[in-house]
Amino acid sequence: MQEHEDAFGRTVLDHLEGRRAHEVIERSDGYIDVSGGPRAYFEPFRRWAPVERRAMRFVRGRVLDVGVGAGRVALHLQERGHDVTGIDNSPLAVAVARRRGVKDARLLPFREIRPELGVFDTVVMMCNNFGLFGSAAGAKRMLSRLRRMTSNDARIVAGSRDPYRTDNPDHLRYQEQNRRRGRMTGQLRLRTRHGHYCGRWFDYLLASPDEMRELAATGGWDVERLIQNDDDDDYYVGVLRKT
């Protein structure tokens, strides 16, 4: 990744250093939105979404934090005594995580993980990072790889959003286009922008609970628990165990 492509990393670095930062999301159909901002990537545990706080009860042993970002999850788990390896494809985000105290933050894209990283007991994928599987084929491939890199009773603790819980006509049109093209309903093609920084296009997957179960099974995992809010929030966390 070249420096001008690290829009996400620049966003979290600017926030860390006290500058205004906005994360602009561009979708392949031209739809533009602004995320809630980088502050969420720095929040202490007490301010996390309730489903994420509950999800941390299922973390055990050595942890792989996929999409470490600014280090929010890794720092919390370190404080609890876990051995955590955080990975991200953003050089600036990895630098921020290290500055904030993450002991083992590595510049490593998710799709390039290998057994040389060692064996993990839990893989955490918070803040919608189940989406990093990208597609049904990507989920099958990477879940199978994680199966080989984890202990016998390992868990994946992953957040996602249910794409069907929307009435936004722009999203509904995009979803219908996906289905016509043979893609999953919640399969997105995105890039991020911040100031003069513009990231590369990437695939990102929103999956319903039923779709998470189906995808998990293709890679040798079961969804043993769903952690959901009682209200209409579309964000939830799945706890996956090896079959």
* Cα gap 196→5, rounded to integer Å: 9
> What is the pLDDT, as a whole number, of residue 150?
98
> What is the pLDDT, as a whole number, of residue 1?
84
Instruction: Write out the two tokens for 137.
Output: 């084929």
CA distances from 75 to 70, 88, 154, 170 (A): 9, 15, 21, 37
| Residue found under tokens 């790889």 | 145
Q: Per residue of the chain (243 residues), give pLDDT as tens.
A: 889 999 999 999 999 999 999 999 999 999 999 988 899 999 999 999 999 999 999 999 999 999 999 999 999 999 999 999 999 999 999 999 999 999 999 999 999 999 999 999 999 999 999 999 999 999 999 999 999 999 999 999 999 999 999 999 999 999 999 999 999 999 999 999 999 999 999 999 999 999 999 999 999 999 999 999 877 689 999 999 999
Distance of CA 170 to the CA centre of its chain: 23
CA distances from 8 to 18, 20, 47, 97, 134 (A): 16, 13, 22, 13, 18
For the chain, which domains are there?
Answer: 3-242 (3.40.50.150)
Which ranges in the chain belong to alpha helices (H)?
7-16, 50-55, 72-79, 91-99, 136-148, 169-180, 209-218
